[in-house]
Amino acid sequence: MEGILVRKIRDGTVIDHIPAGMAFTVLRILGLHRDVDSRLAVIVNTDSRKHGRKDMIKIEDKYIGGDILNKIALIAPHATINIIKDFDIVEKYRVDLPDNIENVVRCSNPVCITNSDREAVTPTFSVVSKSPIRLKCKYCGRYTEFEDIINQFTEK
Ligand SMILES: [Zn+2]
């Protein structure tokens, strides 16, 4: 079925095991929804052996790595990243939410010091729960949850 839908890419990144319906949010997180130069394929609602339905993104000639993966883990905790070179998977890893998150998400408390324009305080959270995601602000103690995060990642 997948072979019919999308051909293999020669070089690039494949993000697999994205929860069904979340592929376009992942694209926004990666900033690729506005990138008119990237060649990418978004496959939604494909069958997954492990988790029912899933989404998948194939990005040609781009290698995704580093901190941005922590962001993907916030909404796609089981996502895997495959780095493809010359049609072979040369690297494969799972996104992993660290115990602490810095600078990725904003605190849901509007009067938190991390949201103040006058103070340069980096938002810092401890990860209280991974599924469903729940973050606790180290400064004000307020929880930031899945819905807050989705809203932040999808606002214009
Ligand atoms: Zn806070």
- Along the 156 residues of the chain, how does pLDDT read in single tens digits? 445 556 789 999 999 999 999 999 999 888 888 878 888 999 999 887 776 899 999 999 999 888 788 789 988 988 999 999 999 999 999 998 889 988 889 999 999 999 998 888 999 999 999 888 999 999 999 999 999 998 888 776
Say how far apart CA 151 and CA 97 lie, in whole Å. Answer: 19
Compute the distance from residue 66 Cα to the ligand 1 centre, in Å.
Answer: 25
Q: What token pair was written down for 118?
A: 């006058």
Q: For the structural domain made of 100-154, what CATH number should be given?
A: 2.30.30.20
Q: 132: cis peptide before it, omega within 30°? A: yes
Compute the distance from residue 154 Cα to the ligand 1 centre, in Å.
Answer: 20
Q: For the structural domain made of 2-94, what CATH number should be given?
A: 3.30.70.140
Compute the distance from residue 110 Cα to the ligand 1 centre, in Å.
Answer: 8
Q: Which of 54, 93, 100 lies closest to 76 in space, CA to CA? A: 54
Compute the distance from residue 105 Cα to the ligand 1 centre, in Å.
Answer: 10
φ/ψ of residue 79, rounded to 5 = -60, 145
Domain with CATH 3.30.70.140 in the chain: 2-94
- Which residues have C-beta under 5 Å from ligand 1, the single-atom ion? 107, 109, 112, 137, 139-140, 142
Domain with CATH 2.30.30.20 in the chain: 100-154
pTM: 0.81
Compute the distance from residue 100 Cα to the ligand 1 centre, in Å.
Answer: 14
Say how far apart CA 25 and CA 31 lie, in whole Å. Answer: 10
